[in-house]
Amino acid sequence: MSSIKIITINVLVASALLGFLFLAPPTTHFVYSTLMGGSLNGSTDQRGGLALYQKFPWAAKHFEEIGELTTQYYDFITWRRDDYIGDTITVVNGLRKTEVHGNISNQIGTYWFFGGSTTWGTGVSDSYTYPSLFSAHQNANVINYGESGYIARQSLAYLMNNIITNEQENLTDVHVIFYDGVNDTSHYCRRAVNGLGTVRQAQLQNLIYRDLGKYSFKRTFSQLLDFFSSVVGKFDGAITEIQYSCANNKERAIEVATSVVSTWKAASDLVEARGGKFTAILQPVAFFGAADLSYLGLNAENDIALSQQFKEVYPRIIEIAGERDFNFIDLTSAYDGCGDCYIDYNHVGPQAHQMLVKKLSIALNE
């Protein structure tokens, strides 16, 4: 056999092997998602099967649609969901749809709700987000600016974007409400997070670093490496334990609480300088209050560690916010005694949002 023939065969075999390696990740993921109805990136969401959804036939479809949502990067606000039209979820121009019920009174003005996934509405259909229910309860115009994972600092950036883009110098008829606490505590208290960065900061920095090696082998094989990591994480049953710092570090706990309150104060000054009204709300969380959580089984090591962070940070937020000059409402006891409110440690179902709106309306009127 000639040397040219041997070289040709070796090149073809190497090319076939490389082709197999490059095609394995997308092919395997497609086959798995088609046959199993899930994704290698995560497990199927089981929350729709909770007993509290028995009267809501849309629950299973809702969590299926949650898995279909995609997200884009944006400067200043970091991320925002792409538009989506589903049976239970509608996102238009980056905003979750607020259902309008009955006649809207123009004399009441407009409410802008900012916050994380609870404000956005994870766990409920468009008509059961608390901004939608609030609109019905108050007969008021409501815009839901919430987004999953947002900390107060991102909401402030999104508020500023909205004011700058639309040249809104007059907010006389607008009441801006920030509904925060859960993401700020769970994100800022991670040992891997420093300063005011989002929980995605390290991930984005890593992606930028990859781009710097434009023609490197690491970039060439990055999808393959990510694929093997996903497969190992999917089938070995391992759960990465997140390390937290606030419970054992008083200075960090104070820093986290102060950053939240200072962000609220900055938002209040921004809104009131334009004639609007601002209210900051410390949102309920399963680890701080007296709701019945027996059906959730929040007893894992990570749950216990996370609960300690809230017990350290939340009282400090309440204390510091009470000393600042802006409207502040503590709603951490909103679900006390409730046995069908939470679907995980921070998201809630339709019943809880109905309870919340009643208590929120009373608190705002006071």
* Domain boundaries of the chain, sorted by first residue: 1-37, 47-365
Looking at residues 176-184, what average pLDDT do you find? Answer: 97
Q: Which residue has the tokens 């709701």?
A: 291
Q: Which two tokens stand for residue 281?
A: 């709300």
What are the tens digits of pLDDT across the range 278-309?
A: 999 999 999 998 898 889 988 788 899 999 99
The whole-number pLDDT of residue 238 equals: 46
Q: Which CATH number, 3.90.1150.10, 3.40.50.1110, 3.90.950.20, 3.40.50.300, labels domain 47-365?
A: 3.40.50.1110
**pTM for the model:** 0.84
Strand, helix or coil at 193?
coil
The whole-number pLDDT of residue 237 equals: 46
CA quadruple 208, 209, 212, 214: dihedral, nearest 10? -90
CA distance 93 to 151: 20
The whole-number pLDDT of residue 222 equals: 63
What are the tens digits of pLDDT across the range 130-139?
A: 999 999 999 8
Looking at residues 217-241, what average pLDDT do you find? Answer: 55
Which of 82, 80, 81, 110 lies closest to 98 in space, CA to CA?
A: 110
User: Is pLDDT of 54 > 60?
Assistant: yes
Looking at residues 123-129, what average pLDDT do you find? Answer: 97
CA distance 313 to 184: 10
In the DSSP assignment, the letter for residue 259 is H
Looking at residues 72-95, what average pLDDT do you find? Answer: 96
Q: Which two tokens stand for residue 44?
A: 């199927």
3-state secondary structure 108-125: CCEEEEEECHHHHCCCCC
Contact by Cβ (8 Å): 281, 329: yes
- What's the whole-number average pLDDT of the chain? 86
User: Is pLDDT of 35 > 60?
Assistant: no
Give the CA distances from residue 245 to residues 51, 308, 309, in Å, rounded to whole numbers and listed in that order: 35, 10, 8
Least confident of 92-106, 152-166, 190-204, 265-279: 190-204
User: Is pLDDT of 256 > 80?
Assistant: yes
Looking at residues 253-279, what average pLDDT do you find? Answer: 97
